[in-house]
Amino acid sequence: MMNNPLISSYIVVAMIGIMMFFTIAVAPTVFKVLPPEWASKYVRSFFPKYYAVLGVLSIIAAYFASNALTSGLLIVCAVLFLFALWILTPAINKASDAKERKKFGVLHGLSVVINVVQLIIFVYLIWP
């Protein structure tokens, strides 16, 4: 832990921006504008990058955090991003390919819950 809370806070604010922009602007537009097969290809290409970048940024923010609680919460978020990248996303894609709608719904729902929890943690970390 390097203890430069300003850098850590800037990174957390950037992650909140990335997550909110995707949720509010990108996802609805992709599914509204693109044909379903193109939207699916786009999402499959986008999410690994999304999870990897946010996971790495969480680790960097944890390194610069001012205290153990902040660092710990950021590491938890990083682990969740990496879980989503390496375990959850392949399982979601497999369920989608196999037309297992219920399994897909449960796994996708889990990914949404994880994303919301991470966003809540990030907002908590920057709240004065």
pLDDT in tens, 3-20: 788 999 999 999 999 999
pLDDT tens-digit map of 46-83: 999 999 999 999 999 999 999 999 999 999 999 999 99
State the Cα–Cα distance between residues 59 and 75, nearest whole angstrom. Answer: 6
| Domain ranges, residue 65 | 5-126
Share of the chain above pLDDT 90, in %: 94
Give the count of domains, the chain: 1
Whole-prediction pTM: 0.93
- Paired tokens of 104: 């897909």
Cβ neighbour number for residue 107 with a 10 Å cutoff: 21
Identify the burial level of 9 via C-beta atoms within 10 angstroms of its C-beta, where 0-12 means exposed, 13-18 middle and 19 or more buried: middle
State the Cα–Cα distance between residues 119 and 121, nearest whole angstrom. Answer: 5
